[in-house]
Amino acid sequence: METRNRQVVLRFLAQPGDVNFGGKVHGGTAMKWIDQAGYACAVGWSGRYCVTVYVGGIRFYKPILVGSLVEVEARVIHTGRTSMHVAVDVRAGDLKDGDLQRTTHCVIVFVAVNDHGNPTNVTAWTPQSEAECAEQRYAVRLMELRQGMEDEMRRHAGADAGT
Domains of the chain, by residue range, sit at: 7-160
Question: In the chain, which residue ranges form alpha helices assigned H by DSSP?
Answer: 27-46, 130-160
Q: What is the mean pLDDT of residues 13-34?
A: 93
- The burial of 84, by beta-carbon neighbours within 10 Å (0-12 exposed, 13-18 middle, 19 or more buried), is given as buried
- The tens digit of pLDDT for each residue in 45-103 reads 999 999 999 997 899 999 999 999 999 999 999 999 999 999 999 999 998 988 999 99
pTM: 0.90
Q: Is the pLDDT of residue 145 over 50?
A: yes
Q: Which conformational region is residue 71 in: left (phi greater than 0), alpha (psi within -120 to 50 degrees), or beta?
A: beta
Q: Which residues pair with 73 in a beta bridge?
A: 9, 89
Non-local (6+) Cβ contacts of 88 within 8 A are: 34, 37, 38, 72, 73, 74, 104, 105, 106, 107, 108
Cβ atoms of 63 and 3 within 8 Å: the answer is: no
Q: Which fold has domain 7-160?
A: Thiol Ester Dehydrase; Chain A (3.10.129)
